[in-house]
Amino acid sequence: MRLDLGTLTLTCSLFAQSADTLLSYASSPIASHLLDKVLTSSAVPPKYRRKLFLAFMGKYDALATDRLGSRVADTVWATADGFMKEKIARSLIPHATILGNDRYGRYVVRKMELHLLQRRPDEWREAMIGVKHHFAHEKEQQQTEVKGVEAEAKKEGKGAEGETAEEAEKRRKKEKKDRKRKERERDAIDDVFEMAKKAKKERA
């Protein structure tokens, strides 16, 4: 992919500006479209876009509450990779309440699902960037086991009508405990008979 001289000059000029200047560009009806072009143009390599993402770091709350800046924030979100999305979203969590009360900020809060990231980050990563948590398979296995218990209870006809998965699991554990208790009782009886046999042999 070639980077033409005009785009390169434009991009380098942008990165020479301070974060506050870039923020003012994002609030400008004309300059904000310039930022959009840098973010979405196929002529701009990803490493340059990443520099722009990082230049706004710590300023995304101000970007999100501006009428035009919120649109730039939306473009940033659409073009960022998974790692950068989480970095941006986490930087906004401390400002979630303020953003939620702002006309434009609340859109960003919903878009980035900040409350989900704060409460259940694993689910957020799976929903927002398609990254499945490495413990997810354990959850699936537990669900499969519960379904198996329900199917077994239904097959044996022991489960009550409308029995929940939790009730079925408790019943299964109780049945297992009862079986072990009966086995111990049988073993105890066998020991008594065995002792009686030995005593009879000794007397004989």
Confidence of residue 5 (pLDDT cuts 50, 70, 90): very low
For residues 96-105, give the mean pLDDT: 94
Radius of gyration over alpha carbons of the chain, in Å? 32
Nearest to 40 by CA among 8, 10, 81, 78: 78
Confidence of residue 141 (pLDDT cuts 50, 70, 90): low
Which of the two residues, 13 and 177, has the higher pLDDT score?
177
The CATH code that applies to domain 5-133 is 1.25.10.10
Confidence of residue 119 (pLDDT cuts 50, 70, 90): very high
Q: Please report the DSSP string for 172-188 in residue order.
A: HHHHHHHHHHHHHHHHH
Q: What is the pLDDT of residues 17-68, one digit of tens each?
A: 888 999 999 999 999 998 998 899 888 888 888 988 999 999 999 999 999 9
- Please give the DSSP secondary-structure letter assigned to residue 88: H
Domain boundary assignment for the chain: 5-133, 137-203
For residues 192-204, give the mean pLDDT: 63
Question: What is the pLDDT, as a whole number, of residue 194?
Answer: 67
CB 32 within 8 A of CB 25: yes
Nearest to 26 by CA among 67, 54, 58: 67
Question: What is the pLDDT, as a whole number, of residue 95?
Answer: 95
Confidence of residue 116 (pLDDT cuts 50, 70, 90): very high
